Amino acid sequence: MTFIDTVLLAVGNLWRRKTRTFLTVLGVIIGTACIIIMVALGLGSLEQFNETVLQSNDLTLIEVYQGYSSDSSSSPKLNENALEKMKNIPGVRSATGVLQIPAFIKMGKYEYYGSVSGVDPDAMNFNFMEGELFTDTDAVEFVMGAGTRQWFTDPRAAQDYGYGGVMVMGGDDYEEPTGPDVEWLEQSLKYYPYYGDGSDLEATPDTPVPKEYKANITGVLEPSNDMNHYSMFISMPAAKKLIRENRKLMDSMGVKEDVYSTIYVNAQDVDSVEGVLNNLKEMGYQVYSPTEWITQMQDEYGRQQSQLIAIALISLLVSAIGIANTMLASILERRQEIGVMKVIGLSIRKINLMFLVEAALIGLLGGIIAIVASYIVAAAANTGGGEMNFLGMYFAEGVRITIPWWLSMGALAIATGIGIVSGIYPAWRATRMSPLEAIRGSN
């Protein structure tokens, strides 16, 4: 008897017991579909995370802050000397100090108050939505993050936050406000190095009036999830000029030309970040890198994926028990058939193979149907896109069920393998039967 004959015989045996076969295959379908959907749900969640976070963050950027110590005099400072040491750390591509300067800006009827960051443009990884980088001179030119636009407001408008402070909501959709509807690169600005809303720009004996500077915006950055989104930047030479020309005012606000509020360090690549972070921590600085919390999030997604797979494997285990039960019942009903096959000289290996093929066919058929059902479920689920909580696990809005080809093929192999494994013991039981006992036991 050839292998094809064995397969055809197995198909015929399964067909004769259609109801039992259907119920057993249904168990495999449920178990396999659970594995596909659960794993795909985790993959979709991770894919969403990669798109919304990894692609919108500069993973090589490290923010360095002054270290904390009970003795403030022993805390490492953020100054030019510290900056040069950081540039010499192995794995560092570039670094720039940040001079945080107060800012009150008038743009026609709109006003902005906050701060601007003096930086070295060569050390900044800017991606522009429009415009270009400011020149590396002492000209007062700004590059603004996309989110900063909303903070240019009209103080005389009916709403306190005018164009900028109201978040636009539409159903489940969120649209970040973009500020006044103006051509940002064509606007003439008046800049004052000053914290406030401009209502008290009067000199006092200790605090002089800030100088007024003509300024303009050279570029608007692409929206992002990092600190650039809500920041305004100016060149380092311009920042130092502003401090020098408003020395008394800056001293009263604690702004020094030779002391940085932050230092931005760029690693050569993502693989170098951990080593640079460790060096900076050993130097006594407080550091922040997106890779730290991204790693934590990825670990959390890994734990979430393990939970999902564990749930699916329980379903598949139940399916395996169902296959084994079906095959054992089939052996008891076919004892006479087994005895006859042995009497006519069919080898034990052939009998064993016949039962294994039947079990494998149950797994294979269930796996194929489960794959088709999983794609249907995924297509239906992906049209929704709302937030979801499942067994204590949270899935953000827009999560997709992503089923790659390797997952489908892997699930099919698992289903077939479960069928074969579940059929090993019943097949062994069949081959252990004595021909005479088998024939006699059927009467």
- What's the rounded mean pLDDT across residues 304-309? 72
The pLDDT value recorded for residue 266 is 85
CA atoms of 167 and 170, how far apart (whole Å)? 10
User: Confidence class of residue 228 from pLDDT cuts 50, 70 and 90?
Assistant: confident
The pLDDT value recorded for residue 116 is 93
pLDDT higher than 50, residue 24: yes
Other CB atoms within 10 Å distance of the CB of residue 273 = 22
pLDDT higher than 90, residue 213: yes
Q: How far is CA 160 from the centre of its chain?
A: 36
* Sequence-separated (6 or more) residues with CB below 8 Å from residue 306: none
Q: How many angstroms separate the Cα of 156 from the Cα of each of 159, 218, 429?
A: 8, 27, 89
- 143 bridge partner residues: 219, 233
pTM tops 0.75: no
Q: Are 107 and 192 in contact (CB under 8 A)?
A: no
pLDDT higher than 80, residue 132: yes
Q: How, if at all, do strands 110-119 and 92-107 pair?
A: antiparallel
The pLDDT value recorded for residue 3 is 73
Output DSSP code: residue 180: S
User: Confidence class of residue 162 from pLDDT cuts 50, 70 and 90?
Assistant: very low
Beta strands in 261-318 (DSSP E): 262-267, 286-288
The pLDDT value recorded for residue 123 is 81
- What's the rounded mean pLDDT across residues 244-250? 89
pLDDT higher than 60, residue 391: no
The half-sphere exposure of 48 on its side-chain side, counting CA atoms within 13 A, is 19
- What's the rounded mean pLDDT across residues 322-326? 77
Say what percent of the chain tops pLDDT 90: 16
- What's the rounded mean pLDDT across residues 89-95? 90
User: Confidence class of residue 25 from pLDDT cuts 50, 70 and 90?
Assistant: confident
**H-helix or E-strand containing 175?**
strand 173-175
Q: Which of 4-13, 318-327, 359-368 is modeled with the greatest confidence?
A: 359-368
DSSP 256-269: -TTB-SEEEEEESS
- What's the rounded mean pLDDT across residues 288-301? 71
Say what percent of the chain tops pLDDT 70: 76
Q: Are 81 and 259 in contact (CB under 8 A)?
A: no
User: How confident is the prediction for the chain on average, in pLDDT?
Assistant: 78
The pLDDT value recorded for residue 167 is 37
The pLDDT value recorded for residue 161 is 43
User: Confidence class of residue 122 from pLDDT cuts 50, 70 and 90?
Assistant: confident
Other CB atoms within 10 Å distance of the CB of residue 387 = 11
| 205 or 6, greater pLDDT | 6
CA atoms of 430 and 424, how far apart (whole Å)? 10
The pLDDT value recorded for residue 414 is 84
The pLDDT value recorded for residue 155 is 82
Nearest of 440, 274, 390 to residue 34 by alpha carbon? 390
pLDDT higher than 90, residue 337: no
The pLDDT value recorded for residue 106 is 92
pLDDT higher than 60, residue 190: yes
| 371 or 67, greater pLDDT | 371
Q: What are phi and psi of 354, to 5 degrees?
A: -60, -45
Output DSSP code: residue 17: T
Q: How, if at all, do strands 61-65 and 286-288 pair?
A: antiparallel
